[in-house]
Structure 1
Amino acid sequence: MHSVASAPNKIILFGEHAVVYKKPAIAVAINKRAKVSIKNTKKDSTIIKCNDIGLHANINPKTYNIEFLEGKKGILNYILEVLKSHHDNSPIKIDISLEVPLGIGLGSSAAITVALIAALHNYHEKVIDKSSLSKKAHEIELKVQGAASPLDTAVSTYGGMIYLKDSNIEYIKPNIEGSFIVAYTPKPADTKKMVSLVKKKLEKYPNIVGNIIDTIGNVTKTAYELIKEGKFEKIGELMNINHGLLDSIGVSSSELSQMVYSARNAGALGSKITGAGGSGSIIAYCINNEDKVLNTLKSQWDAFKTKFSKDGVIIH
């Protein structure tokens, strides 16, 4: 039996950090995916390989003890929890391929989790609907992380655009024009640290920081309406405003700001950090000048071009 599934990565377009305080957020799927392949094996262990990050490990399918052969633990916690919940004790070979690096804030763990659960259900000739898949993938992230928004796993499951408001998820598939250029730092983002930083500032300056968080929420609401109306040319300006607000609460950095302004100077309609900040990634939205923006960012940092995708999880 051979089973293959893939799921998209995501970018947070608007609302990071404010979403922690019940403000809305917008996330979109991109055409960069995590792909999981499952095959039978005659070995005694379940074999996990991800050449993109140099990971090679064997897992005892009964005790779940791990034998590291190469690489770091990384995504293994997610894989282990999925195997415990959605697989029997038979040894299998799991190959994972990634189109974006881990740890840069583009939801790779969610994409891997969604794709693995889908591939396992197909391997066992079971059907799982997207609602159940999204819920089960979120449960895995909760087990591993202790706390997790349903945003990432929902985007990886359904694709398109997700509007999260008051814990309610609205699924939208607009035709977003243009491209997103992603640039990222070598150091992964530390979400827990950045969330804690914002919390402390809110406690210290409740009237000031509270108003900034409210304003981020209003920017997100405005962007949501414009996207539904197809007015994409105005999205860039709102991204710039959103970045300024995030910078004011301390979650940007000198390097991220250099990326943001380099992208704008090269012709991006808008650019901002995406995700927790401190380090990690920025996104630049381009309808024109996308190659110029990409080359400008690549001259100093790692960067790639991606597009909005309507496609969620796919069984291949």
Structure 2
Amino acid sequence: MSAYSKIEVSAPGSIMLMGEHAVLFGEPALACAVDARLAVKLVPRPDRQVLVDSALGQYRGSLDQLEPMPELAFVLAVIERYQPKLQQGFELTIRSGFSHTVGLGSSAAVTAATTAAVAAYAGQSTDPESLFPVALAAVHQVQNGRGSGTDLAASIYGGVIGYDMAPAEVRPLCGLPPIALYYSGYKMKTPDVLALVEQKATRQPELYAGLYRMMGQTSRAAEQAVRDQDWSALGELMNIYQGLMDALGVCDATLAEMIHRLRAEPGVQGAKISGSGLGDCVLALGLVESELPWEAIPVSVAATGVEISYETN
């Protein structure tokens, strides 16, 4: 039997601060964990059965033959990674403190939390440096090698992180900038946005390559601004990055209106799309005092990433 009678893990959601699109072309990205969290509880079983209870679906199967279930693909991919080291089954209960319809990295958070819980159960290391490569491999398994892993790194490490995709490198940064997040009311799936941008890039490949390089320069300067906790400089760089997102063609009329309304706030130092664009969220740096006609997502930067607690037999 396991040394534990229960393992509980929570992982934060995340948002992109900078580096959208360009991170897929070898440029750095910035992301942060937010204080909306997802919880996973693992209870050992005496047999080889695996039970998962989640808002996305219920699963029952054997450790010896995990059957695919698209709604829980990330969870099952993680379990598969630790399969050879698991002697017994378990029950996994997943509860989220935020909706998967809003861009707070719910898939990354559930992958991070599940990885930590199953790693602990399998007697493996649960430090961020050990969890991240396993979790990233699970994401790539589900997404056919796609996905930068930026949001996953933020969920596992917490706080603000700088990130490079290939080879994967996570740089935890000090400083928790004040943020405000607003949801446009709709979103286009990231793969569909990427396909649209790719289509445009084939007509002007050199110009788009130049845009990605400029995005990378902006992200590097922003990483230094976070290190210096120079929020005024970070705000200016967010506005510059937004101009580059606009040039990519991922800003529509609603997002543009949201950005300009937010920039007009006296307490806001910068505003940009957070995520791939053509919907989803707009991120502001600073304090918003006005009532705006879009859904405010009440989040702040979370200093901690994955948190684990145990109950012993």
* TM bracket, shorter-chain basis: 0.7 to 0.9
What SS does structure 2 have at the residue aligned with 1:175?
coil
Tell me, yes or no, if the aligned pair for 2:157 and 2:172 is still in contact at 8 Å.
no
Are 1:276 and 2:273 an aligned pair?
no
Structure 1 vs Structure 2 CA RMSD: 2.5
Q: 1:99 to 1:185 in 2, by over 3 A?
A: farther
The separation in 2 between residues aligned to 1:237 and 1:262, in whole angstroms, is 16
The separation in 1 between residues aligned to 2:48 and 2:184, in whole angstroms, is 40
The separation in 2 between residues aligned to 1:60 and 1:144, in whole angstroms, is 19
What SS does structure 1 have at the residue aligned with 2:42?
strand
Match of 1:47 among 51, 54, 64: 51
Written as runs of structure 1 = structure 2, the 5 A alignment for 1:252-267 is 252-267=251-266
Which stretch of the first structure deviates more once superposed, 159-168 or 246-255? 159-168
Aligned counterpart, 1:104: 102
Amino acid paired to 1:276: S
Are 1:64 and 2:97 an aligned pair?
no
Q: Gapped runs of 5+ residues in structure 2?
A: none
Q: 1:140 to 1:277 in 2, by over 3 A?
A: same
Are 1:155 and 2:157 an aligned pair?
no
Are 1:81 and 2:85 an aligned pair?
no
Tell me, yes or no, if the aligned pair for 2:22 and 2:212 is still in contact at 8 Å.
yes
Tell me, yes or no, if the aligned pair for 2:175 and 2:227 is still in contact at 8 Å.
no
In the TM superposition, residue 308 of structure 1 has moved relative to its aligned partner by 1.9
Q: Gapped runs of 5+ residues in structure 1?
A: 68-72
The separation in 2 between residues aligned to 1:218 and 1:150, in whole angstroms, is 20
Tell me, yes or no, if the aligned pair for 2:46 and 2:88 is still in contact at 8 Å.
no
Q: 1:177 to 1:273 in 2, by over 3 A?
A: closer
Q: 1:66 to 1:207 in 2, by over 3 A?
A: closer
Aligned counterpart, 1:22: 26
TM-score (norm 1): 0.84
The separation in 1 between residues aligned to 2:68 and 2:168, in whole angstroms, is 38
The separation in 2 between residues aligned to 1:170 and 1:137, in whole angstroms, is 14
Aligned positions, number: 299
In the TM superposition, residue 315 of structure 1 has moved relative to its aligned partner by 0.6
Q: Deviations over 1:130-160 (max 9, x none)?
A: 2221000000000001112132222222222
The separation in 2 between residues aligned to 1:141 and 1:6, in whole angstroms, is 18
Q: 1:173 to 1:225 in 2, by over 3 A?
A: closer
Written as runs of structure 1 = structure 2, the 5 A alignment for 1:211-230 is 211-230=210-229
What SS does structure 2 have at the residue aligned with 1:60?
strand
Q: Deviations over 1:242-284 (max 9, x none)?
A: 1121012111222222322232233422111111112222211
The separation in 2 between residues aligned to 1:301 and 1:45, in whole angstroms, is 45
Q: 1:177 to 1:281 in 2, by over 3 A?
A: closer
Amino acid paired to 2:130: S
Aligned counterpart, 1:141: 139
Tell me, yes or no, if the aligned pair for 2:22 and 2:213 is still in contact at 8 Å.
yes
Q: Deviations over 1:2-22 (max 9, x none)?
A: 110112222111111112222
Tell me, yes or no, if the aligned pair for 1:79 and 1:113 is still in contact at 8 Å.
yes
Tell me, yes or no, if the aligned pair for 1:29 and 1:161 is still in contact at 8 Å.
yes
Identity rate, percent:
27
What SS does structure 2 have at the residue aligned with 1:105?
coil
The separation in 2 between residues aligned to 1:170 and 1:133, in whole angstroms, is 12
